[in-house]
Amino acid sequence: MSRETYEAPNTGSGSRAPALGRGNAESALGGEGPATQYKCGDCNAQMKLKRGDPIRCLDCGHRVLYKERTKRMVQFEAR
């Protein structure tokens, strides 16, 4: 069975939650979603971009943007 023909099993509750497929993933997420903080690689300007916004600095037009590091603690287990 291929992924394209897979159908999720019904829960039997009668209400159908939207399936996350290629066609309706954006509508299931509620449209645009939250803005993410980026930093320009050329002029160091900080900006917020949403899904679907062009990847370009709003000040200088440079197309290399760096994603800001998360404030949340991230811990990895080393061997």
pLDDT at 27: 46
Kindly report the number of other CB atoms within 10 A of residue 53's CB atom: 14
Domain span holding position 45: 20-71
Residue 37: its H or E element = strand 36-40
The tally of domains found in the chain comes to 1
Residues 6+ apart with CB under 8 A from 1: none
H helix intervals, 1-79: 25-28
- φ, ψ (nearest 5 deg) of residue 37: -80, 130
From first to last of its 79 residues, what are the pLDDT tens digits of the chain? Answer: 556 776 767 765 555 544 444 444 444 444 568 899 999 999 999 999 999 999 999 999 999 999 988 888 888 898 8
Q: pTM (2 decimals)?
A: 0.52
CATH of the domain at 32: 2.20.28.30
Report if residue 36 sits inside a domain: yes
* Residue 76 resides in a domain: no
